[in-house]
A and B are shown apart, each in its own frame.
Chain A
Amino acid sequence: MEHASIMNKKRRVSDQLLEALIYLCAFLAVGLLLGIIGYVFWRGFRTVNWSFLVTEQSPTKGIMGIAGNIVNTLYIVVLTLLAATPIGVGGAIYLNEYAKPGKFVSLVQFTIETLTGIPSIIFGLFGNVFFGKIFGYSMLTGALTLTIMVLPLIARNTQEALRTVPDSYRSGALGIGATKWYMIRTILLPSAMPGILTGVILAIGRIVGESAALLFTAGSGYYLPKGGMGLFRKLFESGGTMTIELYLQMAKGKYDVAFGIACVLLALVLLLNLLTKYLAGRLNVENRK
């Protein structure tokens, strides 16, 4: 009998060509990213110094500092997440664990998916008219607007995470008499934590990078809060995040300052990502000792 040979006689040219193309794409993607980061740092690092980071801006004294904006950024991140995380996670739990499939659930699902794709300026417009009417240009208005914006992000990621929790965990817990909520609290949420955190990281990314939705809601104040009460009062005061300040500086043509802020912004995003990654690792039940 004639045996078929398994020796490759000639590799197909199209295969090789495609492989080369794919490598090229990968290099382009990484190269572009590194290029941008490199360029931003190269343009910006001279502007960044200690006083740039720890003083607030004062046009009258001619001092340029972004301490106020850094605090505003962190402030709005915390405030938004404080509102968006429980609502997003709670909504996801409802949709995944409680709601019976039907028209209503499909509608909610569809709404969430649509909300993810809406341009942020529309949120800004809505926030400005709706929350702005009540709270004026303030951190609270900004945070509430952003909450609506990042809600779908957190909800969807939580849903994805809940879906990957094996059903056997659910039946295992219910099978030994756990109530539904006890099961969700002790099994589902811990198992879904990495996914929830992914949602939170993405949300942080969007908040930090947002300008359009904040410009007409939180405004562009750059003062540091004064003392403990100041931190509370800040809720109702205008405050621009670093991204807003960056935009304003660009608008004034002060590119060096803008790049300096960009540097700090990149560093902050990196820091926040590392922090959440670290937290995710700590919270991941499978490594928990």
Chain B
Amino acid sequence: MSPRKLFEQELEELRQDVLQMAEWVQDGYDCLFAALEKKDGDQMRRYVRHDRTIEDMQRNIESQCLSLLTRQTPVARDLRTVSAALKVVTDLERIGNHLSDMAELFVRMDLPELSRYSPAFPDMVRETRTLIGKAARAFVERNMAMGQEAIDADDGIDDFFNRIKEDLVKELKKDGSDADGCVDALMTAKYLEKIGDHGVNIGQWEIFQETGEIDEIRLL
């Protein structure tokens, strides 16, 4: 039996809050692309402001972490959990940010059909979603193997990005009439690729949370 009941409880709350934030980000991702598919402009415009909530969640979790550090001076696995949570929420917040930026982009592009620019787009959207889903679950459930899967999945995302880029370059060389659209589509691909990178980070923080190492470099 642990004499640190309050501390355990607070750590559990922290875990729940990170879980909630991760779910919020993933829901946002799903809503965004659903709205794009349904060509729901109102929903999309509302989504531009979506990152405000995520930022609030981030601040709340950061404040919880700092309070835990101050009052409970965690060490060893607890210290790794708290410091990893601090880093993970930054990645989640960045993902949220990219989603909002994409929403803005889609509104400007008047809700385009991405597959028109490259057939790889639907796959990339799906795979990126899978990656961040895995990464977030790995972190919250403390599943190192799943974290590693998320990290490994990033190569696929990078491949999609390169393919889309090639397709767009081809398209531009062939016919420069929709240059704006092509550039925006390229940016969309870049956002997705960045989201994948943040997912990789989250996967890595899960591994750090268990081992104290990141990229095989000992941090703690």
Q: Do chains A and B touch in the complex (CB under 8 A)?
A: no
